[in-house]
Structure 1
């Protein structure tokens, strides 16, 4: 199943995605259950409906984030060897864990806003894991049983805030609009092996990042098991798993985002995103 959200009258509605990429309205009881979380039982009920038989959503609705309000938005840093090397940092011996503020989450095609005083805002296409069942001290062998599905994440990062403002990565990771998710949550059964997915990102139409999850240092199963030792993972929590090489920080000379830039990115089987970068605007 591919699960999406769309905006109508200021609220997000959940939809199933049909074979042609169209949105189909889910029944009201499923909508209500999904508003309460992404546990495996609820997703199984939603998956039981044939998308082709559900009412079509018309009027080209604006997509929202498929997981709008996770209790935690967790990130793994330096999880591709060649990205660690381009960053000039040691290869991790354990997963590097940090947090992105859930308030940074936006839809897959929403604008990315440069924060006030931004100097070095960067792009990072990543595979996101969505938890579907409570996980605490799970084994690597059982870890993926706790996964609801996967999605595309752009882990937008302000490098000066991240690396030059006191040593806490979170400062550069949770700015407003820095967490585009989607276009869909694709359930685990549709993906099969998450360690063989192509990732790509283009900046202003030119190739920037190309990679495959087969080159991750720590696999999705290792990541879920590892993080569950330090915090209980709840249904709907999102873990974004690191980025392949090609980020702006690694270029010579470094290149960072400016107002008017566009980012297009995607992962095989998980759909595509597109964002336009805009200058800071006070809410």
Structure 2
């Protein structure tokens, strides 16, 4: 079997073929419709959130600045996935260049990691707001928030830059068909003819490191929050304290639950049909960006009031 070595950085002839959703080729155009709706919701919702926070100085507070980071990441994450996925499902644009594939894969995994980091920062913000309310703005002043944002960005870039670099070292055979709707790391690794032990080990290590540490910090933050809230006298005061972090808890569940389920089915769910795994992996990248603005729009009074004001003025 002829092999294509990727040890050099110039291989314009190598490209991959994205199947889309294997086994559901006849109904892929129907599946594209709800995915397109999710993408539109992600674009409109996150742009609206960014516009409201940018134009309203009263929202330049820690919670809303972290929300702006989350909205920016969601925009990039959804736009890294949806356009090519929709092109594959709707107009059979299956081919994707090797370099473009690596770039897409890097953006998807890097910004997923960054979103997890921002959720950690938002959990810490909830902890400070409830446990140290009088020093909230002093502890999380704009410079600190900026440093946290830079740290999240650098972590995502540094950890995930090795993904495409390690893939460049692999040798790919004639079979360059990816049974997926986008360039997912493990789906590309499985096409290699050469040894992929390092790629698989590093991919698993990054997933466990990022998700494991982030979930641990979030769990500790909410354990401390719960401990502090239970000490607050009066049911109404407790309810108000819980509602402070209600939106963040919903966003955490929307992001981590489908992600963990997709990860487990990919690595351990050998009996799960492949098209189910591809659908879950695709929804994992589109559902959180689409739902996050709705969650904050519904559960955060300041955001919902400004959204209603925008539509009322336009009406």
TM-score when normalising by structure 1: 0.21
Which of 1 and 2 has greater Rg? 2
More helix by share: 2
Ranked by relative contact order (alpha carbons within 8 Å, sequence separation 6 or more), the top structure is: 2
Q: TM-score, normalising length from structure 2? A: 0.19
